[in-house]
Amino acid sequence: MIGLPQLYALAGLVFAGWAMATLRDPHHPKRALGFGFWGLMALEFLAGDAIGDLGNGLILLALVALALAGAPGRGRPATSTPAERSASLTARGNRLFLPALIVPGVALAGTLLFPRLPGLVDPKQVTLVGLGLGAIIATAALLLWLRPPASAAVAEGRRLAEGVGWAMILPQLLASLGLVFALAGVGDIIGALAPLAIPDGSRLAAVLAFTGGMAIFALLMGNAFAAFPVLMGGIGLPVLVGAMGGDPVVIGAVGMLAGFSGTLLSPMAANFNIVPAALLGLPDRYAVIRAQWPTSVALWLFNSALIWGAAFR
């Protein structure tokens, strides 16, 4: 059955390709660092199962150390010149948009079709498998259509990956921090402290402590999912639902959305807020957060008011 292991192997091969290409790039200023960075990622994805928890932890520490030393660095992967791109545009016109539809199309088709073919694809991972399959099909189609040198798929991927830089591993690392926090009991402590912040009997204060706690905790953890059990268990259920008779459906559903406002402000939500800034080559690491904070604050106010006004009828 095709599932995450095959996807991880594919990703490992891509990382290995970038490692080899970095090693062979004479214009790369930090060749050894870049090779080590992509090589360790390949090792983690290809052989992480066999390495064990401590070994994977040491790989992680080595990746962070390499990143602090300047990995992966930026080489000079071969790409097309502006003139070649203009010529390609003249020759191919708006058909250049068609390949952009392959990945979403295959991911969509996979999500709908894989569940009808039992035993072929892990039913829990249909979308991610569809995404991976879409990437393979689109790469093959583009290589056949554009006829670049065979190494272009690796070179073009590396060009973008080096643009993102060390931020590539930040989302996965932050997800790992969440597990260590859970192990250390951070959520339980916040849940025990949160009710102390509420004056007795004030519904508005209790609602604001709940939605504000959701937003702040989501901001700190980079993730409203981690905040929800803590705040719902600490304030939502015992105070808003239990003592004040609020509707758990409204409080749960809208409370989660109040947490999303915190995620939109959080540098810890790297894949939404930090990686896009790197992917778009923005000089300010927090540019995306700066662009979305007014919307985020307005929605937090609205969701707080919605719970206050609609959950206690």
Peptide bond into 82 cis (omega under 30): no
Region near another protein per CB under 8 A, out of 24-32, 115-123, 175-183, 199-207: 175-183
Q: Are 266 and 220 in contact (CB under 8 A)?
A: yes
Among 192, 202, 204, 245, indicate the residue that binds another protein (CB under 8 A): 192
Residue 171 CB, shortest distance to another protein, in Å, is 5
Q: How far is the CB of 212 from another protein (least distance, A)?
A: 16
Interface region with another protein, contact rule CB under 8 A, candidates 114-122, 151-159, 197-205, 207-215: 151-159
Binding piece for another protein, criterion CB under 8 A, among 30-38, 78-86, 114-122, 205-213: 78-86
Binding flag, residue 64, another protein (CB under 8 A): yes
For another protein (CB under 8 A), the number of binding residues is: 138
Does residue 295 touch another protein according to CB under 8 A?
yes
Stretch that binds another protein, among 25-33, 114-122, 200-208, 298-306 (CB under 8 A): 298-306
x/- map, 106-145, another protein, by CB under 8 A: -xx--x---------------xx-xxx--x--xx--xx-x
How far apart are the C-alpha atoms of 10 and 17, rounded to whole Å? 11
Does 70 participate in binding another protein (rule CB under 8 A)? no
23 near another protein, rule: CB under 8 A: no
Nearest partner of 154 among 23, 66, 7, judged by Cα: 23
Contact, 241 vs 210, CB < 8 A? no
Which residues from 211-240 bind another protein, rule CB under 8 A?
Answer: 220, 224-225, 228-229, 232-233, 237
Does position 97 interact with another protein (CB under 8 A)? The reply is yes
Minimum distance between the CB of residue 96 and another protein, rounded to whole angstroms?
A: 4
Residue with tokens 């719970």: 307
Q: Does 56 bind another protein (CB under 8 A)?
A: yes
Regarding 304 and contact with another protein (CB under 8 A), the answer is no
Q: By CB under 8 A, name the one of 239, 246, 254, 308 that touches another protein.
A: 254
Residue 273 lies near another protein (rule: CB under 8 A): yes
Residue 120 CB, nearest distance to another protein (Å)? 19
Q: Is 76 a residue that touches another protein (CB under 8 A)?
A: no
Token representation of residue 217 = 């905790």
| Residue 260 interacting with another protein (CB under 8 A) | yes
Min dist CB 26 to another protein, Å, is: 20
